[in-house]
Amino acid sequence: MDIDELGGELSAEFEVKPVNVPESTVYELSLYKDARDETLVRADTIGAYISRFRAVLFQRERAPFTSRDMELRRRILEVYPRDRPSPFPWAFSEEEPFEVAE
């Protein structure tokens, strides 16, 4: 997943901002140390942190979703179709019920 390309695509409709993830200055053994780049994408009341491997949708204060929020949610779920927070079959992720503004 190229998050720069996805961020560029989403910037036509949403606020997109790269997130600076500091690199370690000490020796580090990590499979993903070169894949820490994240981008913050914001609609009206929801946002999403996107990276090469995952996306985290969030809402700071509970509010009905706007049409822009629903479009961001739809697009993120289209690009990141996973339904669990890990590759293991026993870990599930449930979405809280939400309201949509009319």
Each residue's pLDDT expressed in tens, for the chain with a length of 102 residues: 788 899 999 999 999 999 876 666 677 676 666 677 889 999 999 999 998 888 889 999 999 999 999 999 999 999 988 766 666 666 666 777 888 987
Structure-token pair, residue 12: 């036509």
pLDDT at 11: 93
Q: How far apart are CA 43 and CA 80, in angstroms?
A: 17
Cα 15 versus chain centre, distance? 13
Q: Please identify which residue in the block is written with the tokens 């997109």.
A: 16
3-state class (DSSP) for residue 71: helix
The type of residue at 59 is Q
Full-model pTM: 0.78
Please list the residues that pair with 55 across neighbouring strands.
Answer: 50
For residue 48, give the H/E element and its range: strand 47-50
- Helix axis angle for 3-10 and 67-79, nearest 10°, is 160
